[in-house]
Structure 1
Amino acid sequence: MGNAGEVQRRVSLLAVAGWAGLATLLIAAFLAALGGLNQSIYGASSFVKGYLEAIADDDIATASTTPGVALDDATLEELGLPADISTAMLRSGVVASAPEDISIVDDVTHSDGSHSVTASYRLGTEIAESTFEVRPIEALYGVLARWQFSDSPLAVIDVTAAHNPLFTVGSLTLDTRATKTGDELAAFTQVAPYLAIAPAVYEFSYDSPLLAAPHVTVPASAAEQVAVTVDAQPTPAFVERVQTKVDEYLAACAAQPVLQPADCPFGIEIDDRVTSEPVWTIVTTPQVTLTAGEDSFDMPPTEGVAHISVELQDLFDGHYYTREEDRPFTLALAATIRPDGSIAIQLQ
């Protein structure tokens, strides 16, 4: 009986040892799997690649809410940016070209646990590389690694909207006056900074019946500050509308049966007696050309010719005669677009 008990005790010990060994193997396998996950799916490289792939998918909501992307007030102040800087460009449908063919080419681990991750990608027709500094944050469920950017990869694009406060980027039209007040609202040229997801390429332009700006492509690297000018110039329709107003103005001047039409650029002084109503006609109308000035679109002094026909009596010998004479004149003006889309003209 004693021997049987001893055997049973030894069998029990072996069973416990076996289960303990199996448990150890399972724990080791779990830890190894966890380590593999933290090196791959939950690794720093995957974190960076996921951010770039979100941009590639035009999932700007995901990209902009990636940990470490948003800029707080303290960081904005440190970067010299206004606290109310526009985030209007942080949305889908704005990026013209996003990173493609993304691959991680280097991942350096530092002693403090942070990583320097270098990604290669194609941006438009160019192959580019960017290095992102990332650091660990509180683990998911206490075991799965999580990361954030040490420095935000957001770019800042300083937009100069020349001669028109509006501009278009991607499918979005923005107003550079959005956060301005007072006299700033009336400025002919507006400048405003915008936060933009990066790396990415943006295309700026503006097209309306009266104004158009050439398309400008702007690549923005991560954490870069770049500038773009959207140079709005008058369209042929704008020039035509101003020309029509000039023609109407000169026609009204010519309709005045006087030697000196009021508020008009032409007239004549005659010493002899006028015996008929003067008749004015416009021989040559100044052709409107518009270029951007400091606060308006300006037409430089441009020559025109008016003609007068009037019956006169010579005060010296009393004979009657008809005077026909061309009278050259110049006309200059400044044109602006009112908020309602009408054109305001100021003669110079």
Structure 2
Amino acid sequence: MGSTAERSARVSPLSVVGWVGLAALLASGFLAALGGLNQTLYGASSFVTRYLELIADDDIALAAATPGVSLDQADLAALGLPADVSTALLRSTVVSAAPESVQITADVAHEDGSHTVTASYRLGTAIIDTEFEVRPIAPLYGVLNRWEFAVSPMAVIDVTAAHNPFFQVGALNLDTRARKSGDDLTAFSQTAPYLAIAPAVYEFSYESALLIAQTVELPAEPSSRPSVTVDAQPTPEFVSRVQTQLDAYLDGCATQQVLQPTSCPFGEEISDRVLSAPQWSIVSYPTVTLSAGETAFEMPPTPGVAHLSVEVQSLFDGEVQQLETDETFQVALDASIQPDGSISVQLK
């Protein structure tokens, strides 16, 4: 038997070439597989698709963390937004409808490595086509493509809470005054911007014992700035409470045994001699109706009827008689909800 050195010397050059070829083949296969991954799973189209799927899965926190979605201070300033703009909508249970039936209809590569990816999807009842601009960032493990949105798809929703600072969206109850101070806190209607994941549909509403606003459905497309008004109006309970206060006020006026009750909307002037204490009663109370004004809910001048009963003596012939007369009067008022939930009524 030959020595180990002799057996090594007899290794065929063809075997070496074979091993080199196999290594080259494996390297070529790896590169091909890597290229395939970068074109598919790690491609620009997949990046956009995953973002839309996160919204569909209501994983809003992860969608907001997708590279290129968040807005830095420079972005906020360019949009005219404060650095502390509300992010309250960037959470689950807020979106009422997410993109469905997503299809990538185009993926155009540019010389600088960026891509324009066009996605078609259904949002609510509408079919929408959106172009997303994405660009490469530092690759994963140095070899797998990673991307970010060159233009953030984040939407900004300007919410006007009319006649009431509060509104509801999804499972959230929000106050438009949260980041305000000073005189801004007292405005009858409030407007505030909110960052929102897009594309998505949001439903805005409000309901309490005293105020109610009809639900408004708002589609927010990527990189858009839509606005919505939550128009709060008095409930029957609100109107009933104001009516109760107004009736009590008029009843108080009627207890004053004078011809001209102080700070009251009715009174009588009599030229004859008054022989008895005047007795007032309310025949018909003004019916309260409320509509939004500039600073409060307003009731326009509304008629009522008061009755006066008093014994008088004629200065002309001395005749004594019981005067019974109805007097029509009008009442207008402002009504507003106080911080403690009570209703303030101011007569005008």
- Normalised by the length of structure 1, the TM-score is 0.96
AA in 1 matched with 2:282: I
The CA deviation string for residues 288-307 of structure 1, in whole angstroms up to 9 with x for no partner, is 00010000000001111101
1:32 is matched with which residue?
A: 32
State the superposition RMSD in angstroms: 1.7
- Counterpart mapping for 1:1-348 below 5 A: 9=9, 11-348=11-348
**How many residue pairs are counted as aligned between the two chains?**
347
Q: Whole-Å Cα distance in 2 between the matches of residues 12 and 51 of structure 1? A: 55
The CA deviation string for residues 210-242 of structure 1, in whole angstroms up to 9 with x for no partner, is 111111111111001111111111111111110
What is the CA distance between 1:9 and its match in structure 2?
Answer: 4.0
Q: Whole-Å Cα distance in 2 between the matches of residues 282 and 13 of structure 1? A: 121
What is the CA distance between 1:12 and its match in structure 2?
Answer: 4.1
What is the CA distance between 1:317 and its match in structure 2?
Answer: 2.5
Give the 3-state SS of the residue equivalent to 2:237 in structure 1: helix
AA in 1 matched with 2:31: L
Q: Whole-Å Cα distance in 2 between the matches of residues 191 and 90 of structure 1? A: 18
Q: Whole-Å Cα distance in 2 between the matches of residues 82 and 301 of structure 1? A: 43
The CA deviation string for residues 35-88 of structure 1, in whole angstroms up to 9 with x for no partner, is 111111111111000000000000001100000000000011112222221111
Q: Whole-Å Cα distance in 2 between the matches of residues 298 and 48 of structure 1? A: 51
The CA deviation string for residues 273-329 of structure 1, in whole angstroms up to 9 with x for no partner, is 221111111111100000100000000011111010001122233221111111111
Give the 3-state SS of the residue equivalent to 2:134 in structure 1: strand
Give the 3-state SS of the residue equivalent to 1:41 in structure 2: coil
The CA deviation string for residues 171-214 of structure 1, in whole angstroms up to 9 with x for no partner, is 11111101101000000011111111001111111111111111
What is the CA distance between 1:272 and its match in structure 2?
Answer: 1.9
Give the 3-state SS of the residue equivalent to 1:173 in structure 2: strand
Give the 3-state SS of the residue equivalent to 2:83 in structure 1: coil
The CA deviation string for residues 97-146 of structure 1, in whole angstroms up to 9 with x for no partner, is 10011111111110000010111111112111111000000011111111
Q: Whole-Å Cα distance in 1 between the matches of residues 272 and 56 of structure 2? A: 83
Q: Whole-Å Cα distance in 2 between the matches of residues 205 and 79 of structure 1? A: 26
| Structure 1 portions without partners, runs of 5+ | none
The CA deviation string for residues 321-345 of structure 1, in whole angstroms up to 9 with x for no partner, is 1111111110000000001110000
Q: Whole-Å Cα distance in 2 between the matches of residues 262 and 79 of structure 1? A: 56
Q: Whole-Å Cα distance in 2 between the matches of residues 174 and 316 of structure 1? A: 71
Give the 3-state SS of the residue equivalent to 1:259 in structure 2: coil
Q: Whole-Å Cα distance in 2 between the matches of residues 8 and 200 of structure 1? A: 70
What is the CA distance between 1:10 and its match in structure 2?
Answer: 6.0
Give the 3-state SS of the residue equivalent to 1:93 in structure 2: coil
Give the 3-state SS of the residue equivalent to 2:11 in structure 1: helix
Give the 3-state SS of the residue equivalent to 1:322 in structure 2: strand
What is the CA distance between 1:8 and its match in structure 2?
Answer: 6.0
AA in 1 matched with 2:212: A
Give the 3-state SS of the residue equivalent to 1:225 in structure 2: coil
Q: Whole-Å Cα distance in 2 between the matches of residues 344 and 219 of structure 1? A: 37
What is the CA distance between 1:19 and its match in structure 2?
Answer: 1.4
Q: In percent, how many aligned pairs have the same letter?
A: 66
Q: Whole-Å Cα distance in 2 between the matches of residues 78 and 34 of structure 1? A: 39
What is the CA distance between 1:7 and its match in structure 2?
Answer: 9.4
Give the 3-state SS of the residue equivalent to 1:177 in structure 2: coil
Q: Whole-Å Cα distance in 2 between the matches of residues 211 and 129 of structure 1? A: 38
